[in-house]
């Protein structure tokens, strides 16, 4: 069976909502349990929201690869044109961004409390990051069990 893919342009908050909803459907179609598909949708929502908040523009790509043991995987790639993450390990600590603890006075202006990347890492089976010439890519992997 070939790899099946979907892509969603992300420019605003409504795009994040649509991508998350469609990602959940995509996961269910390939036999992912309802709870796990909802967790996948949360990850897509968070990645898409980060594109809106921190990137200039971007895209969420979904892929189902049936060849990954034991029963396949769903791969989520969040591509954006924007600044790199300076320190991924720091950014994955709840209450931090990529430079350290978030000033509570700035939380409303920045649009988040600094728990997104940590939540993605906790929900996904694997999280990867790479810088590209024109931005960055965060990849979350969900194994089908």
Tens-place pLDDT, residues 103-114: 887 777 776 777
79, 61 in Cβ contact below 8 A? yes
CA dihedral 30, 1, 137, 28 (to 10 degrees): -10
Helix, strand, coil percentages in the chain from 3-state DSSP, rounded to 5: 40, 30, 30
Closest CA to 135 of 81, 74, 96, 95: 81
When pLDDT is averaged across residues 4-20 and rounded to a whole number, the result is 96
Structure confidence by residue, pLDDT tens digits, 33-80: 999 999 999 999 999 999 998 888 999 999 999 999 989 999 999 999
- Give the global pTM: 0.91
Q: Tell whether omega for the bond before 70 is within 30 degrees of 0, i.e. cis.
A: yes
Return the pLDDT at 1: 63
The beta strand positions in the chain, using DSSP E, are 4-10, 57-65, 73-81, 96-97, 100-101, 126-132, 135-143
Residues 6+ apart with CB under 8 A from 134: 81
The first and second tokens of residue 76, run together, are 């989520």
pLDDT value of residue 10: 97
The pLDDT confidence band at residue 88, using thresholds 50, 70 and 90, is: confident
Residue 126 confidence (pLDDT) above 90: yes
Query: What is 4-84+115-143's CATH number, 3.30.565.10, 3.20.20.80, 3.30.470.10, 3.90.1150.10?
Result: 3.30.565.10
Please answer whether residues 91 and 85 qualify as being in contact, where contact means their C-beta atoms are separated by less than 8 angstroms: yes
């Amino acid at each position: 069976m070939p790899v099946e893919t979907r892509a969603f342009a992300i420019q605003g908050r409504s795009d994040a909502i649509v991508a998350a909803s469609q990602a959940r459907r995509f996961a269910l179609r390939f036999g992912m349990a309802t709870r796990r598909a909802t967790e996948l949708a949360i990850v897509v929502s968070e990645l898409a929201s980060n594109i809106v908040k921190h990137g200039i523009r971007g895209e969420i790509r979904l892929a189902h690869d049936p060849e990954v043991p034991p029963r396949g995987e769903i791969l989520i790639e969040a591509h954006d044109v924007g600044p790199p993450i300076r320190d991924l390990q720091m950014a994955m600590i709840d209450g931090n961004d990529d430079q350290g603890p978030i000033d509570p006075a700035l939380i409303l202006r920045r649009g988040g409390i600094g728990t997104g990347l940590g939540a993605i890492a906790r929900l996904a089976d694997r999280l990867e990051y790479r810088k590209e010439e024109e931005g960055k890519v965060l990849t979350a992997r969900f194994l089908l069990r």
